[in-house]
Amino acid sequence: MTRQLVLGIETSCDETAAAVVSEDREILANVVFSQIDEHQPFGGVVPEIAARAHLSLLDGLIERAMREAEVDWSDLSAVAATGGPGLIGGVIVGVMTAKAVAIATGLPFVAVNHLEGHALTARLTDDVGFPYLLLLVSGGHCQLLEVEGVGRYRRLGTTIDDAVGEAFDKTAKLLGLGYPGGPAVERAALEGDPARFKLPRPMVGRPGCDFSFSGLKTAVRQTVSRIDQPSSVDVADLAASFQHAVAGSLRDRCRRGMQLFADAHGAGRPFVVAGGVAANAVLRADLSALSGEMGMAFVAPPPALCTDNGAMIAWAGLERFRLGLTDALDFAPTPRWPLDPNAQIAIGAGVKA
Ligand code: KG4
Ligand code: ZN
C-alpha cells in the first residue's frame, strides 16, 4: 500500500513555504523562503509587499518542494494551505494556489488553521500523543492551550495585550537591532548581563494563566531613552535583561497552566512549546527545566520547525485529511480564526486585577 503524502503551503506572514510530508512522519521536502530583504528597509513586515512576494515566489517553491520530495501530483493524497489567521493578502495567495492545484489535479483541499499547524508540529517531530499542554508563542499569539485532539483545544490563558514575539520585535527595533527582531535580540543577549536592568516581569504572581507584554515593552523604551547613545554593551545588557524578564513571566504563567493541566489530566503528560519564539534557546532551556520540576515531559520541535514553515501545514493537513476533515473549494480565507472558539477575546482587556 502506498503511504499518504500531503503538500502543505504557508503564506500567512513573511515566510513563503511549501513542503511534502508523509503519514509516517517523514518530511520529504521543506522549502522556506524568508522575505527578509523585502521587509528589512521598513523595519517590519509590510502586508502588501508580503502578499506580492508570496504571489511571485509560491509557484516556484511548490515546484522545488515537489522535485526535492521526488513526488508527482498523483502521489499526493491532498493539498493543504494556511486558511488563516494571518495577513489576509498572503493567506489569499496560498489558499487560491492550493485550490488551483486541487482543481487541476482532483486532489482534496484542506484549509489549515496556522495555529493548529504550530500546535500539531510536536506530533510530526516527536509523535506526541493527546492530550498535552501547549505554550504557543509567536509573532501574533501567546497562549496556553490544552490540546485534546485535532480541532479540540481549550484555552487556559492568552495575552491581554501584545504577543511575546511582538515584544521581541519591538525591543529589537528600540535597540537598533532591526528586523527580524527575535533572533537579533537572542544573539545580542548572548553577551549581555541579564541582571543589569531590573525590568518588570509581567503578571507574575497573578491568578490565572493570562499574559501581558506591553508594560515590559514600555519599560524597555523608557530604559533606552534614559541612556544617552547606548553602547554595544548597553544594548547587550538590555537585550539580556528583557529576555530574562520574558522568561520569568513565561515560567510563572506556565507553572500555573501545568498545575491546572495536571489537575485535569493527571501527572506526567507532555508540555509542548511551539511558534517562532519557541526557537529561542534561552527560553527553551528555562521551560525545559520548569517541565522537569513539574514532572512533565518537555517537547520542543527543532527551531526551524518552530518558526513558520510548510511542513507544519502539510502535517496538520494530513491529520485533518485522515479524519475526513477536508474543505470545499468555496472556503473563504480568514484573518481571524481562534483555536478555541469558546474562549473570550482578551486582547485589549488590559491588565486584570
Ligand atoms: O511563528 P512565527 O514564525 O510567525 C507567526 O506566526 O507569528 O513567529 C514569528 C515570531 C517573531 O515575532 C519573531 O521575532 C519570533 O517569532 N522569533 C523569536 C526567535 N525566532 C523568531 N523570538 C525570540 N527568539 C528567537 N530566536
Ligand atoms: Zn506562525
Same domain, yes or no: 111 and 169 = no
Same domain, yes or no: 198 and 85 = no
Write down the pTM of the prediction.
0.96
Distance 165 CA to ligand 1 centre (A): 5
Q: Residue 286 domain-assigned?
A: yes
Same domain, yes or no: 43 and 149 = no
214 DSSP 8-state letter: H
Q: Determine the 3-state secondary structure of 310 from DSSP.
A: coil
Q: Is residue 168 a contact partner of residue 179, using CB atoms and an 8 Å limit? A: no
Pocket test for ligand 1, best of 177, 216, 217, 307 (most atoms within 8 A of CB): 307
145 DSSP 8-state letter: E
Same domain, yes or no: 135 and 251 = yes
Closest of 7, 20, 12 to residue 109, by C-alpha: 7
Query: For 52, phi and psi rounded to 5 degrees?
Result: -65, -40
User: pLDDT-derived band of residue 349, with 50, 70 and 90 as boundaries?
Assistant: low
Tell whether ligand 1 has an atom less than 6 A from the beta carbon of residue 84.
no
Range of the structural domain that residue 140 is part of? 130-303
Which residue has the CA at smallest separation from atom 14 of ligand 1?
A: 182
Same domain, yes or no: 91 and 201 = no
Same domain, yes or no: 135 and 22 = no
* Share of residues in the chain with pLDDT > 90 (%): 95
**What sections of the chain are H helices per DSSP?**
36-39, 47-69, 88-105, 114-126, 164-174, 181-189, 214-226, 232-265, 281-293, 303-306, 311-322
Q: How far apart are CA 216 and CA 238, in angstroms?
A: 12
Same domain, yes or no: 139 and 282 = yes
Would you state the pLDDT for residue 353? 37
Same domain, yes or no: 219 and 154 = yes
Same domain, yes or no: 112 and 180 = no
Ligand 1 atom closest to 166 (CA)? 12
Same domain, yes or no: 189 and 286 = yes
Look at the chain and report how many structural domains it folds into.
2
Of the ranges 233-247, 272-286, 335-349, which one carries the lowest mean pLDDT score? 335-349
Tell whether ligand 1 has an atom less than 6 A from the beta carbon of residue 257.
no
Look up residue 167 and give its three cell numbers: 515584544
Of the ligands numbered here, which is closest to the C-alpha atom of 168? 1
Residue 47: cis peptide before it, omega within 30 degrees of 0 = no
User: For residue range 241-268, what is the model confidence (pLDDT) as tens digits?
Assistant: 999 999 999 999 999 999 999 999 999 9
CATH of the domain at 111: 3.30.420.40
Same domain, yes or no: 112 and 252 = no
